[in-house]
Amino acid sequence: MGDRLSGKVAFITGAARGQGRAHAVRMATEGADIIAVDIAAELPRCVPYNSASEADLKETVRLVEATGQRIEASVVDVRDFEGLGKAVENGVAALGRLDIIVANAGISVPEAWNEITPESFRDVMDINATGTWNTVMAGAQKIIDGGNGGSIILISSAAGVKMQPFMVHYTASKHAVTGLARAFAAELGKHSIRVNSVHPGPVNTDMGTGEMVNNLMRAAETNPNLNNMLTPFLPDYIAEPSDIADAVLWLASNESRMVTAAQISVDQGSTQF
């Protein structure tokens, strides 16, 4: 247990499992209270992996409370602007303040370019790009009102630095997240609010369940020359959620107080090849 975030409150989306849960628990171990939201329900039909559940969100609550910190959790879809605002209002009312936002919720859908439907493209963009904007808009004013500055971390992807083959919509959405971080950083800097984007490569989460791998392999067969575009330099091809959470914690802490509008890659070097 540490105190790098002692007395602070973090608002985290997609917190029921995977990276979102890792961010919540890691920040709690460093003294932060948590406002957690997740859709905790069936994802759009284009998503090939298993959806999170309310039981998953309850487990995140249990793990955070086990650290001794408080957590306010609710079921909210990041596409629901009003719902996110209410979650933040209720969370700040209960926990007293807001200092950190982690816009983590997102979906990934492997499809060859000519198999993407308008519905699929819209779902990916609505959740990954608009959902990230909704998240920042729901909480940024609360950080400003607190008068203490803060840190906003937007979870992009290696696809937001380079690209992800067979995911035109995902790549577009994650480039949008990168742009949102830089643009928000410029305008919120006068309030001592730092905004950065984090760019993971492959991470060991539930995104690898269901038909995800089969769908990715099927799409890859349409253009095998693209299969090695994200080759890592390090021997560990897949990161753990805790690896990403460590980077997010650093950005949330005062240790990175002079870092803003940066793109922090946690991708084993894969975007440099």
Q: Dig out the tokens for 11 from the structure.
A: 């608002």
Active site residue 49: no
Residue 228 confidence (pLDDT): 86
Question: DSSP 3-state assignment of 216?
Answer: helix
* Complete DSSP assignment for 144-175: HHHTS-EEEEEE--GGGTS--TT-HHHHHHHH
In this prediction, residue 156 carries a pLDDT of 98
Question: Edge-to-edge strands of the sheet including 33-38?
Answer: 71-75, 33-38, 9-13, 100-103, 150-155, 193-200, 263-266
Out of 170, 215, 219, 230, pick the active-site residue.
170
Tens place of pLDDT for every residue, the chain, 273 residues? Answer: 899 999 999 999 999 999 999 999 999 999 999 999 999 999 999 999 999 999 999 999 999 999 999 999 999 999 999 999 999 999 999 999 999 999 999 999 999 999 999 999 999 999 999 999 999 999 999 999 999 999 999 999 999 999 999 999 999 999 999 999 999 999 999 999 999 999 999 999 999 999 999 999 999 999 999 988 888 999 998 999 999 999 999 999 999 999 999 999 999 999 987
